[in-house]
């Protein structure tokens, strides 16, 4: 008995390629997180879609004062007024990627194309977030920078998975939900 059905199926991508794509996606999301968290993560607006809501600026955002976070958010909105469009495009990318991941045969090229587009968008946002953070640090007085350094050190010394965010929170806000 021959297995002609299996011979006709398209070859699957190697496991290492799928792992590389997932790792690449995670790095892309981290880049978008830098920007999205700084610009939107501490807003009093209704929650953003889960894709954006779960992203953050990491320990830098946690160590910034509430005023610094507001200033970064304002600067980001001024310099990237089309950020909402970026979020919409990223959501569409994820929808396409989910379809690609579930399809048989798996199309590694199509997945790479979607993830590359995400990387390119994330890089633009990451670059702006990087620039804005550096500008904010430059604008700080020496005492403000020292206080930021102290808060950053405190944030970095917490064990992984610690539910609290930065040391400075607005009254009545649950830090774990920020």
* pLDDT recorded at residue 11: 65
Q: What is the pTM of this model?
A: 0.54
The per-residue pLDDT for 121 is 84
pLDDT tens sequence across 20-51: 666 566 666 666 665 555 555 554 444 433 33
pLDDT at site 110: 95
Report pLDDT for 111: 95
pLDDT of residue 21: 63
Residue 103's pLDDT is 95
* Model pLDDT, residue 178: 40
Other Cβ atoms less than 10 A from the Cβ of 107: the count is 15
**Range list of H helices, the chain:** 4-8, 15-40, 50-53, 58-63, 66-79, 83-102, 108-139, 142-157
Residues of the chain with pLDDT under 50: 43-56, 166-178
Return the DSSP state at 167.
S
């Amino acid at each position: 008995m021959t297995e002609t059905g299996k011979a006709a199926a398209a070859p699957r991508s190697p496991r290492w390629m799928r792992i590389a794509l997932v790792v690449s996606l995670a790095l892309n999301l981290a880049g978008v997180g830098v920007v999205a968290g700084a610009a939107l993560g501490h807003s009093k607006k209704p929650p953003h879609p889960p894709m954006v809501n779960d992203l953050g600026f990491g320990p830098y955002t946690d160590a910034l004062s509430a005023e610094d976070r507001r200033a970064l958010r304002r600067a980001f909105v001024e310099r990237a007024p089309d950020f909402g469009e970026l979020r919409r495009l990223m959501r569409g990318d994820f929808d396409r990627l989910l379809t690609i991941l579930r399809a048989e045969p798996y199309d590694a090229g199509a997945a790479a194309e979607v993830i590359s587009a995400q990387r390119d968008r994330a890089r633009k946002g990451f670059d702006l977030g990087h620039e804005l953070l550096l500008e904010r640090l430059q604008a700080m007085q020496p005492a403000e920078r020292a206080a930021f350094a102290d808060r950053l050190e405190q944030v970095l010394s917490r064990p992984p998975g610690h539910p609290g965010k930065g040391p400075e929170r607005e009254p009545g806000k649950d830090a774990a939900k920020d």
